[in-house]
């Protein structure tokens, strides 16, 4: 259960202001969907949350503490592409996080520790529906399976915050509906706080408990560079989708609509 | 409508025929030229007949030297291959190591990046005299020439390949709690090994060039030494099979590296095409 606070965040690249005056208080166990037109800086905001970029001004707090300068294990990520390691099998991809945690130098586990970690990785992969593909390399997986793997790989670290950068944007509608159900269930079970960038409004309202729309205030050509995007809309999705049962019902009905 | 030329592909058997065709044509052209010259002057040395080349092969590759009891081709081949393989191994280790840490660590790139760029434009043959002076005329200077000749290329290639790793993967590794050392060891090195083989394959030609050059200038054995020795006697009947043998060795080593890459890194071909 992790609260995230953004205080007056600005992001500028040289003279180009991308984001300005971003103030946000996110409740623990929220599912925040970030939407907006292309280039509005929603991915930049997410990259700042994962410490891959530094805000020009302002601060980001996680549970009241300033964000570390490097990406950390408490903030998991799933990107649209390049989320999994091509040189590791499905099983090894999920195992990697556990190995890195426990074995700082050799990065490999042996004996009992290895078996425990392996069981953990396998049950996580069962959870996301990849129990049958343990020995395959990611290149042999479909797009949907790769994203399931990326989710499993991130969640094995038990992150407090999960950051999703258009994770389902490249998937077919049917596959996307299935993975939405999975995502919702995992979010309920783990109680983590999720930020998801998406360009799909229905996805945003479907999964999110809160939808943040970023957009530039000023759109005259000569102003475009000097004014960044701000939070244009901040919508609580009602009713809050906190009940597991209810969540499954709505998703199932909409999933069949999609197909 | 007829298919466009870019879409028409030969069947398998036609493909084999087409692949063999240039070689066959070359042999036919050679034998015609050789016959014509020998008809005019039976002691012509420029284009020896296939039978005198056969005799030379018999002499060099299958007959023991009366004085030393050695078979010259094998002595030359083993001398050359030892130099060649040592040079390649050292260059690969040095190139892989410096390439990867320079590509990975901004501080290393800041200090060594320009240095390696400058190093790589020094013509290696220009420093061969320095190597001979400093290291003597023995094996060391020849191996050093190969290393200095190809290591800078491997380093620069590795730097580029490391920089090509998607930044998403580097962030992902960090969100799995990886330290710099762990990222290097579990993410970067395993992804670089097959690319290191690629870089090595591309530098094979240059490595042969430096080996033959070093052997031609100062050596008592080796394939390059033999060719340049035979040049004094215009012994084309020995030089031609030696060149063919070197070509075969070069081709074979390249093929072995390709097979090693496919066997050891099954994920690589698939991930590259995707």
Cα B37 to chain centroid distance, Å, stands at: 35
Q: Do B271 and A50 touch (CB under 8 A)?
A: no
Q: How many other β-carbons are positioned within 10 Å of the β-carbon of residue A122?
A: 16
Q: Which residues of chain B have pLDDT under 50?
A: 274
Q: Do A73 and B175 touch (CB under 8 A)?
A: yes
Q: Counting runs of H as helices and runs of E as strands, what totals does chain B give?
A: 12, 0
Cis peptide before A178 (omega within 30 of 0): no
Q: Do B175 and A70 touch (CB under 8 A)?
A: no
**Does residue A132 fall inside a structural domain?**
yes
**Does residue A210 fall inside a structural domain?**
no
Nearest by CB to B186, which of A71, A84, A96? A96
Task: Establish how many alpha carbons lie within 13 A of residue A173's alpha carbon, considering only the half-sphere containing its beta carbon.
Answer: 8
For residue A107, the chain B residues in CB contact (below 8 A) are: 182, 185-186
Q: How far apart are CA A187 and CA A251, in angstroms?
A: 14
**Does residue A131 fall inside a structural domain?**
yes
Q: Do B175 and A79 touch (CB under 8 A)?
A: no
Cα A198 to chain centroid distance, Å, stands at: 10
Domain assignments of chain B as residue spans, ordered by start: 1-44, 72-265
> Whole domain around residue A119: which residue ranges?
86-142+151-158
B244: closest CA of chain A, how far (Å): 38
Q: How far apart are CA A112 and CA B245, in angstroms?
A: 54
Nearest by CB to A86, which of B175, B181, B267? B267
For residue B167, the chain A residues in CB contact (below 8 A) are: 52
Question: Buried (b) or exposed (e) across B80-118, using 16+ Cβ within 10 A?
Answer: beebbebbbebbbebbbebbbbbbbeeeebeebbeebee
Query: In total, how many domains does chain A have?
Result: 1
Q: How far apart are CA A55 and CA A23, in angstroms?
A: 13
**Does residue A70 fall inside a structural domain?**
no
Nearest by CB to A97, which of B176, B179, B270? B176
For residue B177, the chain A residues in CB contact (below 8 A) are: 72-73, 97, 100-101, 157
**Does residue A130 fall inside a structural domain?**
yes
Q: How far apart are CA A207 and CA A187, in angstroms?
A: 10
Q: What is the pLDDT of residue A110?
A: 77
**Does residue A215 fall inside a structural domain?**
no
Q: Do A77 and B175 touch (CB under 8 A)?
A: yes
Phi first, then psi: what are they for A234, rounded to 5°?
-135, 100
- Closest residue, chain B, to A75 (C-alpha): B175
- Closest residue, chain B, to A135 (C-alpha): B267
B268: closest CA of chain A, how far (Å): 7
Which residue out of A75, A80, A82 would a mutagenesis test of the B interface target, given it has the greatest number of B Cβ atoms within 10 Å? A82
Nearest to A153 by CA among A116, A127, A192: A127
Which residue out of A68, A71, A79, A162 would a mutagenesis test of the B interface target, given it has the greatest number of B Cβ atoms within 10 Å? A71
**Does residue A114 fall inside a structural domain?**
yes
**Does residue A129 fall inside a structural domain?**
yes
Strand partners, A7: A59
What ipTM describes this predicted complex? 0.85
Which residues of B make CB contacts under 8 Å with A?
166-169, 171-179, 181-182, 185-187, 190-191, 265-268, 270-271, 274
Q: How far apart are CA A222 and CA A225, in angstroms?
A: 7
Q: Which helix (H) or strand (E) holds B103?
A: helix B72-104
Q: How far apart are CA B238 and CA A106, in angstroms?
A: 54
Q: Do A85 and B187 touch (CB under 8 A)?
A: yes
CA dihedral of residues B39, B43, B44, B48 (deg, nearest 10): 90
Q: How many other β-carbons are positioned within 10 Å of the β-carbon of residue A149?
A: 26
Q: How far apart are CA A194 and CA A236, in angstroms?
A: 15
Q: Do B175 and A76 touch (CB under 8 A)?
A: yes
For residue B179, the chain A residues in CB contact (below 8 A) are: 100, 104
How confident is the model over B179-220, as pLDDT tens digits? Answer: 999 999 999 999 999 999 999 999 999 999 999 999 998 888
Contact by Cβ (8 Å): A95, A107: no
Q: How far apart are CA A71 and CA A81, in angstroms?
A: 18
Kindly give the confidence (pLDDT) of every residue in chain A, 259 residues in length, as a single tens digit, with 9 standing for 90 and above.
688 888 888 888 888 888 888 888 988 888 999 998 888 888 999 999 999 999 999 999 998 889 999 999 999 999 988 889 999 999 999 999 999 888 777 767 777 788 888 898 998 898 888 889 899 999 999 888 999 999 999 999 989 999 999 988 888 888 888 889 888 888 988 889 999 999 888 888 888 889 999 888 877 777 777 788 888 888 888 655 554 444 444 444 444 444 3
Angle at B46 between CA B43 and CA B48, to 5 degrees: 65
CATH number for domain B72-265, candidates 1.10.274.10, 3.30.70.20, 3.90.550.10, 1.10.3720.10: 1.10.3720.10
Cβ-Cβ pairs closer than 8 A, A with B, add up to 82
Q: How far apart are CA B246 and CA B251, in angstroms?
A: 8
Q: What is the pLDDT of residue A170?
A: 81
The residues, any chain, with a CB within 8 Å of residue A109's CB and separated by 6 or more, are: A95, A98, A99, A102, A103, A117
């Amino acid at each position: 259960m992790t609260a995230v606070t953004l205080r007056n965040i600005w992001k500028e690249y040289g003279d180009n202001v991308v984001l300005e005056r971003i103030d946000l208080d996110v409740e623990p166990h929220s599912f925040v969907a970030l939407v907006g037109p292309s280039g509005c800086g929603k991915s930049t905001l997410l990259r700042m949350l994962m410490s891959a970029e530094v805000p020009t001004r302002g601060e980001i707090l996680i549970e009241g503490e300033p964000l570390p300068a490097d990406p950390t294990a408490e903030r998991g990520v799933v990107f649209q592409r390049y989320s999994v390691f091509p040189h590791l099998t499905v099983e090894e991809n999920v195992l990697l996080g556990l190995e890195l945690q426990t074995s700082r130098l050799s990065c490999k586990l042996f004996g009992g520790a290895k078996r425990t970690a392996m069981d953990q990785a396998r049950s996580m992969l069962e959870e996301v529906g990849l129990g049958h593909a343990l020995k395959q390399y990611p290149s042999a997986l479909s797009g949907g399976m790769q994203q399931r793997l990326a989710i499993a790989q991130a969640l094995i670290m038990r992150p407090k915050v999960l950051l999703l950068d258009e994770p389902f944007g490249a998937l077919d509608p049917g596959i996307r509906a299935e993975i939405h159900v999975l995502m919702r269930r995992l979010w309920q079970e783990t109680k983590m706080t999720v930020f998801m960038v998406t360009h799909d409004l229905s996805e945003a309202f479907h999964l999110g408990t809160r939808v943040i729309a970023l957009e530039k205030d000023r759109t005259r050509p000569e102003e475009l560079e000097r004014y960044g995007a701000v939070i244009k809309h901040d919508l609580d999705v009602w009713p809050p989708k906190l009940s597991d049962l209810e969540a499954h019902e709505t998703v199932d009905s909409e999933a069949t609509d999609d197909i | 409508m007829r298919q466009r030329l870019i879409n028409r592909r030969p069947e398998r058997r036609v493909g084999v025929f087409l692949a063999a065709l240039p070689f066959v044509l070359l042999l036919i052209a050679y034998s015609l030229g050789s016959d014509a010259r020998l008809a005019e002057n039976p002691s012509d040395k420029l284009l020896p007949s296939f039978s005198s080349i056969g005799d030379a092969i018999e002499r060099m590759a299958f007959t023991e030297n009366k004085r030393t009891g050695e078979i010259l081709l094998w002595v030359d081949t083993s001398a050359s291959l030892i130099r060649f393989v040592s040079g390649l191994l050292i260059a690969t280790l040095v190139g892989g190591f410096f390439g990867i840490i320079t590509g990975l660590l901004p501080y290393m790139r800041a200090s060594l990046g320009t240095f390696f760029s400058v190093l790589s434009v020094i013509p290696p043959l220009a420093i061969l005299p320095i190597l001979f002076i400093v290291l003597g005329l023995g094996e060391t200077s020849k191996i050093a020439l190969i290393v200095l000749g190809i290591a800078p290329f491997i380093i620069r290639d590795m730097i580029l390949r490391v920089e090509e790793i998607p930044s998403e993967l580097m962030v992902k590794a960090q969100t799995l709690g990886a330290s710099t050392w762990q990222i290097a060891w579990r993410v970067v090195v395993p992804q670089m090994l097959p690319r290191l083989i690629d870089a090595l394959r591309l530098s094979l030609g240059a490595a042969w060039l430096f080996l033959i050059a070093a052997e031609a200038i100062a050596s008592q054995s080796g394939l390059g030494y033999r060719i340049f020795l035979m040049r004094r006697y215009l012994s084309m009947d020995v030089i031609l099979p030696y060149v063919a043998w070197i070509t075969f060795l070069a081709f074979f080593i390249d093929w072995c590296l390709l097979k090693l890459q496919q066997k050891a890194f099954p994920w690589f071909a698939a991930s590259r095409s995707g």
